[in-house]
Amino acid sequence: MNRLDPHNELQLARASALTRRHFLQRCNAGLGAVALNSLLGQSASAAEKPGAQPDYLRHYAPKAKQVIYLHMAGSPPQHDLWDYKPELVKNHLQDCPQEFIEGKTFAFIKGHPKLLGPVYDFKQHGQSGAWVSEMMPHLAQHTDEMCFVKSMHTDQFNHAPAQLLLHTGSSQFGGASMGAWVTYGLGSMNNNLPGYMVMVSGGKNPSGGKSLWGSSFLPSVYQGVQCRAKGDPILYVSNPEGMSRNIRRQSLDSLSQLNRLELESYQDPETLTRIEQYELAYRMQVAVPGVMDIKNESTRTLEQYGAKPGEASFANNCLLARRLVEQGVRFVQLFDWGWDIHGTTKLDDMENQFPKKCRETDQAISALLTDLRERGLLEDTLVVWGGEFGRTPMHEARGGSKFLGRDHHPDCFTTWMAGGGVKPGITYGATDELGYSVVKDPVHVHDFQATIQHLLGIDPHKHNFPYQGLNQRLIGPTASPKIIKDLIA
């Protein structure tokens, strides 16, 4: 069999890198060398010239290397979890102040609503003295690791646009997701797994759909790869029925030989890349089922998380998130559906659905934090928890519903972070005594995105991709959000 001589092959490899680098050719100061050589989105490689990374990535010391983003889709009620308001307890079922409703539009509230005090008790925990609802008994043990932001606010009060704004920087479709931006900038840390992986629980997809982990104008290599609890963990990772791994290996060897003949004859650099991609696919076939199989975790670990092999649950996803991070996956995103506590029926109310969601997540997230800490991963892993907007301190009572619940509220909500370079045991920002508006240190969704990127060593203002005549950024092409330095350890 003829082979290309080494010189020729090297030249092709260089051309291959060049052509793919051209994806980015219009960022003159841009990411040029980053990431594209490995199509799992891994960052530097032999074919790239070292030092070609843009300054703003090179000179920036990251506080965190990886992210686990826990999105509670539907948006949990902050007044019933973290943002404790004694005044709200006192004024339970009293008319809300007139100024809350004057000139305001709500998604569902009509007329003059009543205030709704938290249904469950709060206690202070840890040295930080953070107030936590009794519904989160496990997480309450972690308050000294957590960094609460109680002054989050957004522009959107419908689920899909708010989720899009949070994860893509734009409330309309067409933006690239945070995970895509991050892996585009930093690449993956594992040769055999995608750099950005996504898992969904709660029985439904989040309202914003797959665009929430899409790559949009960024090369599709950077889109989140969704892992599934049932069937193939990644689509089509299994060989067809009747094909053994041995035959797959043999056939890929043949394919590689045939493609090398093609390469010799046409000298298309993309052919070389394709040969590499098939090899990578084979390695993934081996790696993915392994990492996604939790059967070999100890009984103790499984119990800590409340995970059960073979089930599709948030608890399993938390355990998988740790396994993926351990394997070097850059960005792991979990969406858990069912937090839209309106109180129209018992399927979305405060007394049935809310405790159920708390039970499903409290222990698992707590176990995740402990597990990450014990394995020394928490230092480098930023854990983020939150919804897409807040909920009203007022009782929604849609159509006179007898179930308790709260409407959508964009003006304030609480998220928390842990690990990865954030200050542990602090609370940033505050809302008024009824928890209706931010009164101290507001954090807009774009500020939050800027801060997360900053923690990862990415300059949020400069991290861009030219598309449709604009330097597109996660924080929007023109906004100038602030990095919340007070959150950073």
Partner 1 sequence: MLIRLSFIALLGLASSLAANSKEVSFNFEIRPILSKNCIGCHGPDPGDRKADLRLDTFEGATSTEFGDASIVPGDPDASLMIQRIESNDPDEVMPPPEHGHSLNKEELALLKQWIREGGHYETHWAFVPPTRPAAPEVTTTDWGKNEIDSFILAALEQNNLRPSAPAKASELLRRLSLDLTGLPPSWEESKDFQKSYHENSAQAVSEAVDRLLASPAYGEHWASMWMDLARYADTVGYSGDEHRDIWPWRDWVIKAFNDNMPYDQFITEQVAGDLLPEADEYQRLATAFHRLTLNNNEGGTNDEEFRTIAVKDRLSTTVNATMGLTIRCAECHTHKYDPITIQEYYEFYAFFNQSADRDHRDDRPRMAVTPPGTEKERKVLKNRITQIKQAAEQTSPWTALSLDQSTATNGVTFSPKPDRSILAGGSNPPNATYTLRAPAPAETTTALQLELIPDLRHNDMIGRSPSGSVFLNHIQLFVVTPDGQRERRYFSHATADYSQPNYSITNIIGEEAHRNGWAMNHPKQGFKARRIAVFDLDKPIDAPRGSTLEVELHFQSSLPRVTAGRIRLSVTSAPQAASRFEKRTLHPLGRELVEMQDTLNATIRVPVTVELPQKRQRETHIMTRGSFLQLGKKVAASLPAAFGELPNDAPKNRLGVAQWITADTNPLTARVAANRYWARLFGIGIVETEEDFGTQGTLPSHPELLDWLAVELQEGGWDIKKFLKTLVTSAAYQQSSQASPERLERDPRNTLLSRGPRYRLSAEVVRDQALAVSGLLNQELYGPPVYPPSPIKKFANAFTGYTHWVESQGTDRYRRALYTYLKRSNPHPLFETFDMASRDVCVMRRFRTNTPLQSFMTLNDVVFVEASQALARKMKSHSDTVEEQIRHGLRLVLLDEPISDQVTILSELYEKSLHEYENDLTSALELAGTIPTPATDENAAQLASLTVVANILLNLDAFLCK
Write out the binding residues for partner 1, residues 216-235 only, by CB under 8 A: 216-217, 219-221, 223, 225, 231-232, 234-235
Buried b (16+ CB within 10 A) or exposed e, 143-170: bebbbbbbbbbbebbebbbbbbbbbbbb
Cα distances (angstroms) measured from residue 450 to each of 115, 169, 461, 462: 34, 10, 8, 11
Nearer to partner 1, 219 or 393 (CB): 219
Q: Least distance to partner 1 from the beta carbon of 253, Å? A: 8
Cβ–Cβ < 8 Å for 194, 40: yes
Q: In angstroms, give the least distance from the CB of 459 to partner 1.
A: 8
Measured CA to CA, the distance from residue 233 to residue 43 in angstroms comes to: 24
Q: Which residue, 120 or 467, is less far from partner 1 as judged by CB?
A: 467
Closer to partner 1 by Cβ: residue 45 or 344? 344
Name the one range near partner 1 by CB under 8 A: 318-326, 361-369, 416-424, 467-475: 467-475
Q: Name which of 48 and 371 has its Cβ closer to partner 1.
A: 48
Q: Interface residues for partner 1 in 361-420 (CB under 8 A)?
A: 399, 407-408
Q: In 22-96, which residue ranges form alpha helices assigned H by DSSP?
A: 55-58, 86-90
The HSE-up count of residue 228 (CA atoms within 13 Å, CB side) is: 10
244-273 positions binding partner 1, by CB under 8 A: 244, 246-248, 250-251, 254-255, 257-259, 261-263, 265-271, 273
Closest to partner 1 by CB, 82 vs 465, is: 465
Window 197-216: residues binding partner 1 (CB under 8 A)? 203-211, 214, 216
CA 463/CA 323 separation, integer angstroms: 29
Range 26-55, binding partner 1 (CB under 8 A): 26, 28-29, 39-40, 55
- Which residues, 151 to 190, sit near partner 1 by CB under 8 A? 157-160, 172-174
Q: How far apart are CA 98 and CA 114, in angstroms?
A: 11
Of residues 94 and 345, the one with the C-beta less far from partner 1: 345
How many residues touch partner 1 under the rule CB under 8 A: the total is: 106
Helix (H) or strand (E) holding 263: helix 245-266
* Residue 248 or 373 with smaller CB distance to partner 1: 248
CB of 48 to partner 1, least distance (A): 15
User: Residues 423-462 vs partner 1: string with x where CB under 8 A?
Assistant: ---------------------------------------x
Q: How far is the CB of 11 from partner 1 (least distance, A)?
A: 6
Work out which of 128, 141, 277, 327 binds partner 1, going by CB under 8 A: 277
Strands 225-226 and 426-428: unpaired
User: CB-based contacts of 418: which residues, under 8 Å, 6+ apart?
Assistant: 142, 145, 146, 147, 369, 378, 382, 383, 424
Which x/- pattern over 305-344 shows residues binding partner 1 (rule: CB under 8 A)?
Answer: --------------------------------x--x---x
CA 328 to chain centre: 15
CA distances from 447 to 259, 444, 453, 481 (A): 48, 5, 10, 5
CA 146/CA 383 separation, integer angstroms: 9
Instruction: State the Cα–Cα distance between residues 423 and 426, nearest whole angstrom.
Output: 7
* Interface map 127-156 toward partner 1 (x if CB under 8 A): ------------------------------
Give 288-310 as a DSSP string.
HHHHH--TTS-HHHHHHHT--TT
Write down the least CB distance from residue 125 to partner 1, Å.
33
Only segment of 105-113, 133-141, 367-375, 437-445 that touches partner 1 (CB under 8 A): 105-113
Q: Does 59 bind partner 1 (CB under 8 A)?
A: no
- From the list 15-23, 75-83, 125-133, 302-310, the region that binds partner 1 by CB under 8 A is 15-23
Cα-based angle 284, 285, 290 (whole degrees, multiple of 5)? 85
Shortest Å distance, C-beta 44 to partner 1? 18
Looking at the Cβ atoms of 51 and 399, the one nearer to partner 1 is 399
Helix (H) or strand (E) holding 413: strand 413-419
User: Residue 165 Cβ, how far from partner 1 at the closest point, in Å?
Assistant: 13
Distance CA 31, CA 317 (A): 32
User: 284 with 232: CB under 8 angstroms?
Assistant: no
- From the list 145, 147, 120, the residue with the least C-alpha distance to 133 is 120
Q: At what angle do helices 269-292 and 6-21 cross, to 10 degrees?
A: 80
44, 237, 312, 426: which one binds partner 1 (CB under 8 A): 237
